[in-house]
Amino acid sequence: MTRIGPDVGHSSQNPIESKPKPSYPEQSQPYPGRESDMRPRPDYGEQSYQGSGRLVGKKALITGGDSGIGRAVAVAFAREGADVLISYLSEDDDARETARVVRESGRTCVVVPGDITHEQHCQSLVERALSEFGQLDVLVNNAAYQMTREGIGEVSTDEWDHTLKTNLYAMFWLCKAVLPHMREGGAIINSSSIQAYQPSPTLLPYAATKGAIITFTKALAQEAIKHGIRVNAVAPGPIWTPLIPSTMPPEHVQKFGENTPVGRAGQPVELAPVYVFLASSDSSYITGEVIGATGGRPLA
């Protein structure tokens, strides 16, 4: 049986008790948030993720790779043997921390700040990756924007536009730019969400984009596989990342994730093995699929 990931330090523990549980300290940050200011600090795998060489020789581009899920994926990819380029908006301190851990793992990490809501920047990310690495094997569309609103009346056209450009347009631009250059055996992994299946009205624009990401993934997979490239999506549940204290009311942050059967938010390191699996040849017969990591909440 193929395993999805290596031991990340908690395989013998009860998953309900193996990570911090609510109630979390009341906290709030300005968007986009900083991982270093979160309490408790997210676990992104620096101390626990042990790779097994499943991505040796691979080169990856990861958006939102400075913190949260993107950081955990960058570290896991590096521990599995891949070099990575991480894109991020403006969180230089978080990006430096990700780069430090990747480089201490013996791999190359290229950091590129900028706004992926601009098509030219997305194209330049692909060009930079190809220039730095000479090839591109994995694209992880992970960066996202959300904001909690009490109802549709509070969502401005500018905010709707910004959400779609960050979550959908950037994915479209990056996939379009990558596909002509990606080698056979390559993989595109898009980050969807449980919000695609169980949408919260307070996250209306975000939830709408996450549903669209699944449709986009399933459609593009049918084209890309003709060129030997697989396209899949991951649908996380509540994950403890800077997006939470920077986009949700403090009282919601305190209870974040308690509505899952596991009873807590997931940690970024718990998502990383899924991305590794989808990036590796272990998942060679999987394309156009969505893998959930939701703490037991059903994707339905």
Active site residues: 206
Inter-residue contact 290 to 283 (CB < 8 Å)? no
User: What does the alpha-carbon distance between residue 183 and residue 136 come to, in Å, rounded to a whole number?
Assistant: 7
Three-state SS sequence of the chain: CCCCCCCCCCCCCCCCCCCCCCCCCCCCCCCCCCHHHCCCCCCCCCCCCCCCCCCCCCEEEEECCCCHHHHHHHHHHHHCCCEEEEEECCCHHHHHHHHHHHHHCCCCEEEEECCCCCHHHHHHHHHHHHHHHCCCCEEEECCCCCCCCCCHHHCCHHHHHHHHHHHHHHHHHHHHHHCCCCCCCCEEEEECCHHHCCCCHHHHHHHHHHHHHHHHHHHHHHHHHHHCCEEEEEEECCECCCHHHHHCCHHHHHCCCCCCCCCCCECHHHHHHHHHHHHCHHHCCCCCCEEEECCCCCCC
Distance CA 268, CA 67 (A): 9
| Beta bridge partner(s), residue 235 | 292
